[in-house]
Chain A
């Protein structure tokens, strides 16, 4: 099973700042089969990125993804108030399809 470790656990930033979230895999995620989700309180997760760097439909371009192999990054260039949420990465290179434990992005 591929274990995904996200860091930091909590990130405290202000609106307008840049956020960098990390997802590290216990083994290589080939073909960049990695997705990112955003989860606001009381809501279902929302797909942000797939294939490590492809934005899902209707996702603003302030969100970007990068990385390969075992190290992946989600970057939010300028934080908007609605971006403060929990973010999860997920690998889909092999079953069982696993998620990271999440990074909480909170307002400083």
Chain B
């Protein structure tokens, strides 16, 4: 059974960089699939941030592209998100998830999500 577990600081100061990691168990991320990030501001809907494939193919939401970096560490079976120059508007629950396939870009396994608050 595939499981995803996020980790990282829950509080980030404005203008700094938000960092999240997602450790995958039950599947080797270097074997395939894309791995992505989605966020949900408090009381709001879901927003796709981006995804990465072990081959290095990366996709970003254009609305966040200038501030986002997604990377993958196959030795740790982990992928990561960095969001720079954060503001209060970036306060959200950040989820990591598996993308079903390169064509069928929906999310079949999700991490539990963690609230990241941007505040001084």
**Residues in A lying within 8 Å of B, measured CB to CB:** 33, 35, 37, 43-47, 50-51, 56, 88, 90, 92, 95-102
Contact = CB atoms under 8 A, between A and B. Distances in A.
Given A88-B46, A101-B45, A56 B104 contact: no
B104 A33 contact: yes
Interface residues on B, range: 20 to 34
A47 B48 CA distance: 15
Interface of B: 44-48, 59, 61-63, 95, 100, 104-108, 110-113
Say whether chain A's binding surface is mostly helix, strand, loop, or mixed. Answer: loop
User: Most chain-A Cβ atoms within 10 A of its Cβ — which of B106, B111, B112?
Assistant: B106
A100 B44 CA distance: 10
A91 to B, nearest CB: 9
Nearest to A34: B106
A32 to B, nearest CB: 11
A96 B106 contact: no
Nearest to B48: A97
B106 A100 contact: no
